[in-house]
Each structure stands twice: as structure tokens, then as C-alpha cells.
Amino acid sequence: MVPGLKKICAWCGDSVAEGDPGDGVPGERVSHGICPTCAHSLDLQIQSVVDMHQLTHEEHDQLPFGVIEVDGEGVILGYNDWESRFTTFAKDRVMGRNFFTEVAPCTAVRSFLGEFEEMVASGRPDRRELDYTFELPTGQREVHIILTWQPEPGWGFILVREATT
């Protein structure tokens, strides 16, 4: 654990660990990982609390929810197997393309893209949740979205879970 780094679960938002706030601002430096409770309930083969950014794309493929890794412009850097099955978009079709304007233009609205842009513009780590309706080739799908942003190294995640009724 890096001193002064607070780690929260990217999925549930619970505090995972908190380091010594070396800069005097508790919780100022935030990282997003997976908490032991979520790791256990999701039946992950990950042995310890890990930063989402440290997981490989193969480990993202183990997660039972969508993981879309994006840079500050919304360009897709990673796209896991769950998300590919959910959207029916092959990974090679979406990698390197803009999530908001090319892959899922239905998200280029204030309540989705606007939230992401605010997170990036703030220059601070952030995590936000929203419920959304995706317009997919297979029809409308209700989802729960978690957006995370980490200014260092300059990318974040769009986590997608199908809404439960």
C-alpha cells in the first residue's frame, strides 16, 4: 500500500484500505481496487486486494461484469469478455475507438458522458454510479454503471452490470 493512498472498491465503493495521508489531506489520493467481499462474492481467482489498473486484461476477463478501460478522451484501451458478450461487439471492433461517440453513441448525453467529463476535468480520482438504458443491436438493456477515474496514470473504467429486476 502506497502511503497516503486510500483504496476503494471499484464495484461496491467500500473503503478497502487507507494509507498514511502523507500530504495532510486524508483520502486525497484514491485508487480503485476490488475488495475481498466483492472478490469472494464474484468468485474471483485474485488472491489479494488489487488495484483495477494492475489487473491484466486476462484478469478483467474473469470478472462477471463489464469492464471498459478508457483514457481521458473516452478511447477504449480494454474491453473484457463479459462486455463483448453483453453488447455482441467483438473486442477487435471496439479497441482504439471512442466509447462515447463511436461504440455507444447513446451514452453521449449529460447524464453519462457529462459525468465522465466532469470527473476527468476535476483532475482528482473519482467514482460515480448511475443507472442507464443502453441501446444495443439486440434491443434496450437496463444497466447499472460505475465510472472510475484515476488522473495518474490517466485512465478510468466504465463498469457495467445488467440491472436486476
Domain 5-162 -> CATH class: alpha beta
According to the model, what pLDDT value does residue 83 have?
Answer: 95
Query: What's the rounded Cα separation, in Å, for the pair 33 and 15?
Result: 10
Cα dihedral 24, 25, 28, 33 in deg (nearest 10): 60
Kindly give the confidence (pLDDT) of every residue in the chain, 165 residues in length, as a single tens digit, with 9 standing for 90 and above: 444 556 777 777 777 665 543 333 444 455 677 777 777 666 666 555 567 777 888 888 988 889 999 999 999 999 999 999 999 999 999 999 999 999 999 999 999 999 999 999 999 888 888 999 988 878 888 999 989 898 877 889 999 988 875
Q: In the prediction, which pLDDT does 43 show?
A: 66
pTM above 0.75, yes or no: yes
Please name which of 51, 82, 45 lies closest in space to residue 66, comparing C-alpha atoms. 82
Domain range summary for the chain, segments of one domain joined by +:
5-162
